[in-house]
Amino acid sequence: MDRFSLNKFFEWLLSPFTNHLEHPMIFTEYPFWIFFLLVLIGYSFLYKKIKLRSIFLFIVSLYFYFKTSGFFFSILLFSTIIDFFIGKGIYNSKKEGNAKIYLALSISINLLILVYFKYAYFFAESFNSIIGSQWHPINHFALLTNQISGSSFRVDQILLPIGISFYTFQTMSYSIDIFRKKLKPVKNIFDFGFYVSFFPQLVAGPIVRASEFIPQIYKPYDVSRKDFGLALFWIINGLLKKFLLADYIAVNFVDRVFDNPGMFSGFENLMSLYGYSLQVYADFSGYTDIAIGVALILGFRLPKNFNSPYKADNCGEFWKRWHISLSSWLKDYLYIPMGGNRGGSIFSYVSLSLIVIFIYLISGSLALLFGILSVIFSTLLIGELFPKFNKWYLTNINIMLTMLIGGLWHGASWNFVLWGALNGLGIVVYKQWKKISPWKNKSKWWNKIWGIIITFNFVTFTRIWFRSGSINSWDEIDQGHNIISEWFTANEILNQLFFNFQWDLIGDVLAVYSNVFLVIIIGFLIHFIPEKFKFWYREKFSTSPVFVQLLVCFTAIFFMYQVASTSLQPFIYFQF
């Protein structure tokens, strides 16, 4: 290779670090792994010095987020500084009332930032349509950054910062855990900044609790030979899920159907739903597998985020296995404070009021608002007349509210409202059904299988609305929700499923997409492998000789890039 070619090679290799990225630095592209290699080299000199390693990892995490999201790193810094000092205020408060004021301030600031970036255009469009104004939101964070640093970021456009939902929930958990006396404040702002911005899980989770992660900051580095092997396993496992399952299924089948469901038969729409259930699992759990592996190499343990969710035999169990860090966060910081299964509370009615306002703004319909309020007041009246009904709805209202808020967390769209409502309804209905179910004895394998089949198909059915409301390309990731288009896409899928199934085309469809369906079948078979066997081969890999691990890794990487899609797919949960 001559000098000119060598210079070109290094120019190409380093271009992601010298130029602004067109999209976030992600696990499926080489810039991240060069970045991680450089981090490891620097880390090797500092990992024994606890204070210095926190400062180092905080700085490299900020750089990672800057290369991922540009000026949005200023929002991350703002949240870090505010919650660091609020946490100290909560801890040092002599009176509980003062601590509550600090806590309310933390929650208010974090939620306002989250709502501002996730729902600014939604509120602007709603208010404009209701009162006939022409208000257009301005990105005040970009404006402030320009004034301070002399940069020239756009102020007329509000884009969703990558990972804002995840790190906002983390900063909120810090304040809440200190208030609940589960945690003492960190020693300095660098430790807190490191906790908030830790790059492996910063942009798509898992959501890390302050009470679980911060104690690790002050522990010596402790990664055994087996731990390192396990970290390699999780990284390769996640990459295989992303490349061989999620992206292959999406590019070759699922995205085509959802882009124009009316052009495909009902059978193709049905198979695309099954394919999407595997795709979204492989995509999201693949990301968290890689994050867990990368963090473990650095000496930090992230929580498990998925536990074979399609093995669940009811909706409640499904949400204990799916996106565990979010489900448990919503349970501990939302569902239980609302009263849990004990009944409603003031917080329940505040949450209900907010949801009603959101639904009204989405629809802009006073008639719908009147209808919802009529149902609420009728329910309250019936509850006063019939105590048994009162007890029933009070013990279930918090489930519905939590799932509705979980739906709105994904986006201000009718599709996400309905998706959240259906999942909440699934949990509530099962709670009643299991009292009389002839199949409730799950010690009998056929009853459990029957429950798994029903649960999987129900969850898959609800994803008609989730996928229709989701974004699937880098070009769309900065765009707001087109709630009309999303709603009609979901309706078109339903129409094809129920009125245009075209049974006579099943054979042709199976022949045309045989490779895709084979991958889907293999993916689900792997998913349903007994946990004992999965544990066995993880242990076998993590304790194998180094040359065996490296051989497996290089073989897997070579195979992945042979079948990788030329159209790079973003991780699905980047948009949330």
130 falls within a domain: yes
With a cut of 70, say whether residue 575 has pLDDT above it: no
**Both 143 and 245 in a single domain?**
no
Please tell me the least confidently modeled range out of 315-319, 355-359, 451-455: 355-359
409 falls within a domain: no
428 falls within a domain: no
443 falls within a domain: no
Q: Are 79 and 171 in contact (CB under 8 A)?
A: yes
**Both 281 and 197 in a single domain?**
no
Pick the last residue of a domain from 206, 221, 236: 221
For 285-291, what is the mean pLDDT?
91
- Identify which has the larger pLDDT, 152 or 556: 556
**Both 95 and 176 in a single domain?**
yes
573 falls within a domain: yes
150 falls within a domain: yes
**Both 185 and 65 in a single domain?**
yes
Please tell me the least confidently modeled range out of 39-48, 195-204, 216-225, 350-359: 350-359
Pick the last residue of a domain from 221, 250, 271: 221
**Res 123: pLDDT:** 66
- The token pair that represents 528 in the structure block: 């349903």
Pick the last residue of a domain from 221, 256, 273: 221
**Both 94 and 191 in a single domain?**
yes
**Both 208 and 231 in a single domain?**
no
**Both 498 and 524 in a single domain?**
yes
Mean pLDDT, all residues of the chain: 81
**Both 203 and 64 in a single domain?**
yes
**Both 141 and 261 in a single domain?**
no
The one-letter code for the residue type at 476 is E
| 323 phi-psi bin (left φ>0, alpha ψ -120 to 50, beta other) | left
With a cut of 70, say whether residue 154 has pLDDT above it: no
Of the pLDDT bands very low, low, confident and very high (cuts 50, 70, 90), residue 12 is very low
**Both 43 and 172 in a single domain?**
yes
For 159-180, what is the mean pLDDT?
82
256/507 Cα distance (integer angstroms) = 19
pTM: 0.86
- The token pair that represents 521 in the structure block: 């079948």
**Res 67: pLDDT:** 78
**Res 95: pLDDT:** 84
90 falls within a domain: yes
For 33-61, what is the mean pLDDT?
89
- Identify which has the larger pLDDT, 247 or 130: 247
CA-CA distances (angstroms) from residue 138 to 53, 154, 447? 38, 9, 56
**Both 195 and 266 in a single domain?**
no
User: Which pairs from 459-463 meet CB under 8 Å and 24+ separation?
Assistant: 459/277, 459/310, 459/315, 459/318, 459/423, 459/426, 460/273, 460/274, 460/276, 460/277, 461/273, 461/422, 462/419, 462/422, 462/423, 462/426, 463/273, 463/276, 463/277, 463/280, 463/419
Is residue 307 exposed (0-12), middle (13-18) or buried (19+ Cβ within 10 Å)? middle
**Both 112 and 159 in a single domain?**
yes
**Res 488: pLDDT:** 79
351 falls within a domain: no
Domain count, the chain: 2
Per the structure, the complete domain to which residue 544 belongs is given by: 223-309+477-576
* Residues 176-235: tens digit of each pLDDT: 899 888 888 888 899 999 998 888 888 777 888 888 898 999 899 888 889 999 999 999
